[in-house]
């Protein structure tokens, strides 16, 4: 897959970083008072001062004011490939959410450090599968006996769950390669335990000719996931009951409404959307898939997009010869992605310039060892 290096905004050489020089740069609160008009120049100056010691990775759902400083922009797969490829930079600063920074830390070289500008940038989907619940689920599946299950976890999960997956012979996947990874998993076992996004698992498996009645949903709050042993034996894929609060907001009625209002518009949905929405859509695409499809479409074409609003708005701006709108007029924003503000970026960078690493993400050695096995399995399939 081709990776694009983005141009960094130009910066004047004279910009200084006064708070850091006075030794108060480690206090984030003082950055809330930095006037917006000076942030760009300060970020650019700190970035220039760090030069090749630093690489900034930015997910497509980040706001424009932040993602414009990324050296590499991408979806989860591209960014994990990039994190593994950046062996020279001392610091990998991740403009994304916690599980992405953790994945970069798992794949980094020993001398590198990974930074997440705001530690509150989590992911509600990743929080829906706790390692204790997953271990408990696994014990119960083993107790049923003879199921031959292989775990596959979406990138959007904790490092502990990735490690569990690696230890049990499974792999990580992203929305870009879920079908490829699930196909591989079926070559190793009879059943797949797909964590933690029910919708991505169902949408992908359905398009691999697995019938809906061969899929069951494991509810971690109920004994045996709320299922019977017979249901588990009939199932080919066991879907963890988890979802993305952003993508699950898109509903079939949004598809019907946008088609009524824009004759001939094409609907493209991310596979984290509900199955019913993906069934009605003209196309299904991972974040990178949506981007490629719309960019390559003919001038004059019209698209209603079921994914995070920052990407939709950017696509609209970058494709002025096409109509690109959100599938939900009420705006679907990922509030945790949005937590990374230019102030956080400026604070983290100026501290690095001053020799202080703030908000380092560090996965423990044992977890890293096994999580890396699961991530590298995915990267070797990609």
Q: Does 97 bind ligand SF4 (CB under 6 A)?
A: yes
Contact flag: residue 123 with ligand SF4 (CB under 6 A): yes
Q: Which residues, at least 6 apart from 331, have a Cβ–Cβ distance to it below 8 Å?
A: 309
**CB-neighbour burial class of residue 5 (10 A; exposed 0-12, middle 13-18, buried 19+):** exposed
Question: Nearest distance from residue 154's CB to ligand SF4, in Å?
Answer: 8
* Site size toward ligand SF4, by CB under 6 A: 13
**CB 307, min distance to ligand SF4, A:** 8
Q: Exposed e or buried b for every residue in 335-349, given b needs 16+ CB within 10 A?
A: ebbbbbbbbbbbbbb
Can residue 156 be called a binding residue for ligand 13P (CB under 6 A)? yes
Strands 360-361 and 113-115: antiparallel
- 25 versus 306: smaller Cβ distance to ligand SF4: 306
Site for ligand SF4 in 164-223 (CB under 6 A): none
**Using CB under 6 A, which of 80, 81, 82, 286 touches ligand 13P?**
286
Binding residue for ligand 13P (CB under 6 A) from 80, 287, 326, 343? 287
Distance, in Å, from the CA atom of 188 to the CA atom of 158, rounded to the nearest integer, reads 23
Minimum CB separation from ligand SF4 for residue 247, in Å? 6
Of 24-32, 274-282, 317-325, 332-340, which part binds ligand SF4 (CB under 6 A)? 332-340
The answer to whether 374 and 171 have CB atoms below 8 angstroms apart is yes
Q: CA-based diameter of the chain, in Å?
A: 71
- 326's CB contacts (< 8 A; 6+ apart) are 304, 305, 306, 309, 312, 332
Which residues ranging from 223 to 282 are in contact with ligand 13P (CB under 6 A)? 244, 272
Residue 336 interacting partner from ligand 13P, ligand SF4, none (CB closer than 5 to 8 Å by kind): ligand SF4
Q: Whose Cβ is closer to ligand SF4: residue 97's or residue 129's?
A: 97
User: Measured from the CB of residue 60, what is the shortest distance to ligand SF4 in angstroms?
Assistant: 10
- Please list every residue from 169 through 228 that binds ligand 13P, using CB under 6 A: 174-176
| Centroid of chain to Cα 251 | 22
Q: Is the dihedral of CA 165, 166, 172, 177 positive or negative?
A: negative
**Given the rule CB under 6 A, which of 41-49, 168-176, 217-225, 324-332 is the region that contacts ligand 13P?**
168-176
Residue (54 or 116) nearer to ligand SF4, CB: 116
Q: How far apart are CA 182 and CA 153, in angstroms?
A: 10
Q: For ligand SF4, give the closer residue by CB, 60 or 191.
A: 60
Residue/partner pairs of 293-299 with CB below 8 Å, 24 or more apart? 293/268, 294/268, 294/319, 294/322, 294/324, 295/319, 297/266, 297/322
- Interface with ligand SF4 by CB under 6 A: which residues? 61, 97, 123-125, 156, 244-246, 308, 334, 336-337
């Amino acid at each position: 897959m081709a990776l694009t290096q983005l141009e960094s905004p130009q910066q004047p050489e004279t910009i200084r970083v006064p708070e850091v020089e006075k030794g108060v740069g480690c206090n984030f609160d003082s950055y809330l008072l930095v006037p917006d008009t000076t942030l760009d120049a300060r970020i650019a100056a700190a970035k220039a001062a760090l030069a090749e010691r630093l690489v900034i990775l930015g997910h497509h759902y980040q706001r424009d004011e932040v993602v414009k400083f990324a050296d590499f922009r991408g979806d989860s797969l591209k960014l994990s490939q990039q994190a593994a490829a950046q062996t020279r930079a001392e610091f990998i600063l991740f403009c994304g959410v916690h599980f992405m920074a953790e994945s970069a830390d798992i794949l980094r070289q020993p001398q590198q450090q990974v930074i997440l500008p705001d530690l509150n940038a989590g992911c509600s989907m990743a929080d829906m599968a706790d390692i204790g619940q997953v271990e408990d689920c696994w014990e119960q599946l083993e107790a049923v006996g003879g199921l031959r299950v292989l775990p596959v976890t979406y990138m959007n999960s904790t490092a502990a769950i990735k490690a569990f997956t690696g230890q049990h012979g499974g792999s990580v996947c992203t929305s870009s390669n879920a079908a490829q990874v699930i196909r591989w998993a079926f070559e190793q076992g009879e059943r797949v335990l797909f964590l933690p996004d029910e919708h991505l698992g169902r949408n992908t498996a359905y398009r691999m000719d697995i019938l809906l009645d061969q899929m069951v949903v494991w509810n971690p709050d109920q004994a045996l996931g709320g299922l019977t042993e017979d249901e588990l034996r009939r199932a080919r894929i066991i879907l963890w009951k988890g979802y993305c609060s952003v993508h699950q907001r898109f509903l079939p009625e949004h598809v019907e409404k946008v088609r009524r209002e824009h004759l001939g518009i094409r609907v493209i949905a991310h596979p984290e959307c509900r199955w019913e929405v993906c069934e009605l859509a003209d196309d299904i695409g991972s974040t990178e898939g949506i981007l490629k499809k719309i960019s390559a479409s003919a001038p004059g074409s019209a698209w209603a997009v079921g994914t995070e609003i920052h990407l939709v708005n950017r696509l609209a701006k970058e494709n002025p010869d096409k109509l690109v709108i959100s599938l939900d007029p009420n705006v679907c924003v990922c509030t945790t992605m949005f937590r990374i503000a230019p102030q956080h970026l400026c604070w983290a960078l100026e501290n690095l310039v001053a020799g202080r690493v703030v908000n380092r993400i560090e996965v423990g050695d044992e977890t890293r060892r096994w999580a890396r096995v699961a991530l590298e399995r995915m990267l070797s399939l990609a």
